[in-house]
Amino acid sequence: MADKPALPTYEQANKLATAALKTPPRSIDVTYYSTVKDNTKTEEDIRKVYKEVLDSEYGPDEKLSPEMLEQKEKEIKINVDNRLIELRERRSKCRVRFDGSRYRIDKVYGSPDRTIKTIQEGIVRDVFQSEKKLDTNTPFETTWIEIPDANNGFEFYHYNHDLKTVSIEKRKNTQAAIEYGKISYILKMPNAFILQIKLGTRKDNSAGEPYDINETKIKQLCSGTLEGFSVRIRPDPNEPNVKDRIEISLYNDEKIEVSKSFMICAKDDYSRVYYFEAANPAADTFPLLTRTCSNFDSQGFPHNVIQVQYDGKGNVQLKETYRIEDIRVNIPIPKEVFEFNFPANYEVTDLRLPKAQRQAARIENLKKRLKHENSGRRLGALVTLRELLKDDPAQLREVMVSVLKDDRDDIRAVALNILAGVLKYNPEELRKIAVSMQDDKDPKIQKMAAKILRQVDSNEKKE
């Protein structure tokens, strides 16, 4: 399976196994910047994601009023359009902290000059956004914290520092670990998983890492007799004195090659992988994946990484560029980093509570949002409260009365229109409210108030 001149020596095989079986860090604290260009998602894929998110917030389409359905569709379209823009070049700054069982991810996204869509005064508009730079002083916008619970699940905290919200939930599957896995993957030696299985033995029959080097397998590798696996090592043609080219192949039971890749590694330390390429099993013309690393530190971590996925025909599907600003491993991380702690002015949504309690808490949070400085968030809260409180007229009336002095015309108009329906059996109070709105600065609201008064008078005459 391997040509003898390129078979690894015992020293080379040991270096390869040592690099692949390196014990993963007990803890890590790393800050990095990334740029991702993603061509793998279609507009339909993205719409499905946002529809599922907004279904959970608004409810199924068939249960919504025409106005709520229109609002929901607007939000879906805006999110889809903006996401498509972001996928062309999505930049972020991220700090990852992990201590063996707990995760914390702090992140902020940047962008070049771009035009995105937003809702202003209920109308979808294009808004130009100037470049948002990311540097050491850029504050993080979102935080995920994930800790294990007593039931073999996870307690998950998600902060949105821009909106000043935080949610708490129980999860069976991890989300923060996925974010950690992205940086962990690019810091780990490519092919490490395969090499661990082929050249190692799990310590104490544990379910995962770490591994011990298996001497029998090492000797088989050097003689070219390791079942279903071969390695060829030659000096790198470009820098033969300092780097080696390591070619790795996997074979099926019929001894047909099913996977092939190669790495360019430092001759004295194979964990320093300068270049990796996974070949296309169907043809050698185009690779499936490449990774280029540079600027290694004294710990052996690269501080510049470019990883590219291809579709097998040479077309780039996903390009990820990473620049690591700071990385520390096997250090104590204060327990406060993973504790649930938030400013007093944050809205809290506790998804662990029963549905009725969650609903009540959501209503209270939306009431607070009616005083938000962002008028779009106030309008969104009002529209949502109208739907949530349709079976509670007393509370709905209280909410609508509270916003009749709002400085946004359409908020006052929505509130007055709803009050006309809620108070149709209380003409005296409806009359008072309509009279108070006759001098509104918006002529449309003045007309609404006059129409309500005429209707009240007409009803009284009929009685």
- Average pLDDT for 130-136: 83
| Per-residue confidence band for 81, with pLDDT thresholds at 50, 70 and 90 | confident
Contact (CB, 8 A) for 396 and 390? yes
Residue 434, classified by CB atoms within 10 Å of its CB into exposed (0-12), middle (13-18) or buried (19+), is buried
Q: Which residue has the higher pLDDT, 344 or 330?
A: 330
CB 157 within 8 A of CB 112: no
Overall size of the chain counted in residues: 463
Q: What is the pLDDT of residues 177-236, one digit of tens each?
A: 788 888 888 888 998 889 999 998 887 655 555 678 999 999 999 999 999 999 999 999
Flag whether pLDDT at 463 surpasses 70.
Answer: no
Q: Give the integer Cα–Cα distance in Å for 50 and 143.
A: 20
Residues β-bridged to residue 232: 247
Rounded to an integer, the average pLDDT of 140-154 is 88
E-only strand ranges, 114-179? 114-120, 123-129, 142-148, 154-160, 165-171
Q: What pLDDT sits at residue 205?
A: 59
pLDDT interval class at 390 (50, 70, 90): confident
Q: Which amino acid, residue 94?
A: C
Q: Which helix (H) or strand (E) holds 456?
A: helix 443-462
Report pLDDT for 1.
Answer: 45
Tens digits of per-residue pLDDT, 11-47?
A: 999 999 999 998 888 999 999 999 999 888 888 888 9
Looking at residue 85, its pLDDT comes to 79
Instruction: Give the pLDDT confidence of 82-122 residue by residue, as tens digits.
Output: 888 777 888 999 999 999 889 999 999 987 666 666 765 55
Q: Token pair for residue 396? A: 């709905």
Give the DSSP H/E element, type plus range, for residue 367: helix 355-369
- Exposure letters 293-312 (e unless 16+ CB within 10 A, then b): beebeeeebbbebbbbbbee
Say whether pLDDT at 150 is over 90. no
Mean pLDDT of the chain: 87
Distances (CA, A) of 77 to 43, 88, 121, 124: 10, 17, 17, 10
Q: 263 near 279, Cβ under 8 Å? A: no
Residue 2 pLDDT: 47
Residue 391, pLDDT score: 87
Span of 9-18, 252-261, 342-351 with lowest mean pLDDT: 342-351
pLDDT for residue 254 is more than 50: yes
Mean pLDDT on 331-335: 94
Whether the predicted pLDDT of 240 surpasses 90:
yes
| Residue range 267-294, pLDDT digits in tens | 999 999 999 999 877 666 789 999 999 9
Give CA–CA dist 24/184, Å, rounded. Answer: 9
440 vs 258: CA distance, rounded Å: 76
Q: What is the pLDDT of residue 128?
A: 65
Percent of all residues in the chain with a pLDDT value above 90, rounded to a whole number: 40
- Matching residue, tokens 């001497």: 215
Residue 295, by phi and psi: left (phi above 0), alpha (psi -120 to 50) or beta? left
Domains of the chain from N-terminus onward: 4-20+214-313 (no CATH), 28-185+334-338 (no CATH), 353-462 (1.25.40)
pLDDT for 198: 92
